[in-house]
Amino acid sequence: MRAADLSDDLERVLYTQEEVAGRIDEMAAAIDRDYKGRDPLLVGVLNGAVMTMADLCRAMTSHCQMDWMAVSSYGAGTKSSGVVRILKDLTTDIDGRDVLIVEDIIDTGLTLSYLVQNLRTRNPASLEIMAMFRKPEAAGSAVDVKYVGYDIPDEFVVGYGLDYAGRYRNLTDVATLRHEVYEA
Ligand code: XMP
Ligand code: MG
């Protein structure tokens, strides 16, 4: 669905479907260049990164493989605590592989710093991060994100895989919600 279909729920569109698609193409081109001839393993973080992964890997012109992890981050409300539990682990042995984590959004960076620590113990040849969106707090964290789609303001956003209470993932544009939706 498009933002126009949800005009009662949305406050502001940050990026349209077309803008997101254009940015994905640019990022895929950079990743193609950097991983030329290396057959990287893209590790998507469920569920939010599904759209980013699907579009990114198809925009690439070189071979890659895909695997998925699901994690839950313990914490009160909408902020994560850094205590992360693996709900679904990789099925691929990443020893000696060039691994690129594909994430939807980084807020505090705590989830990703746990993931990076965990995956490093498995001896990948290289380990980098691609995140479609990054909030200001993440810029101050220790996590080094090689590929960032957009730096966004510190607001809760939905669409392109990002949800509020499980909804809006299938919104093709990226937007903030009206307060009435939270309060309802
Ligand atoms: P940290 O703080 O560990 O959190 O970097 C990253 C995870 O928090 C979720 N998150 C959001 N989800 N809209 C969402 O739908 C948002 O604006 C948002 N900010 C953080 C998300 O699951 C991400 O993986
Ligand atoms: Mg996520």
Query: What are 30-44's pLDDT values in tens digits?
Result: 999 999 999 999 999
Residue 92 lies in a domain: yes
Residue 175 lies in a domain: no
- Please tell me the total count of domains within the chain: 1
**What integer best gives the mean pLDDT of the chain?**
93
Residue 31 lies in a domain: yes
Residue 161 lies in a domain: no
Quote the pTM value: 0.94
Nearest ligand to residue 45 Cα: 2
- Given ligand 1 and candidates 53, 71, 102, 162, which is best to mutate, with the most ligand atoms within 8 Å of its CB? 162
Residue 182 lies in a domain: no
> Containing domain of residue 149, as a range?
17-155
Ligand 1 pocket check for 143: Cβ under 6 Å? no
Of the pLDDT bands very low, low, confident and very high (cuts 50, 70, 90), residue 99 is: very high
Residue 111 lies in a domain: yes
Ligand 1 pocket check for 176: Cβ under 6 Å? no
Residue 74 pLDDT greater than 80, yes or no: no
Of the pLDDT bands very low, low, confident and very high (cuts 50, 70, 90), residue 73 is: confident
Residue 80 pLDDT greater than 80, yes or no: no
Active site residue 107: yes
CATH number of the domain to which 111 belongs: 3.40.50.2020
Q: Which atom of ligand 1 is nearest to the CA of 111?
A: 3
Ligand 1 pocket check for 107: Cβ under 6 Å? yes
DSSP state of 53: H
Residue 9 lies in a domain: no
Residue 173 lies in a domain: no
- The CA distance from 41 to 17, in Å, is 26
- The CA distance from 179 to 17, in Å, is 23
Token pair for residue 154? 């510190």
| Whole-number pLDDT of residue 69 | 98
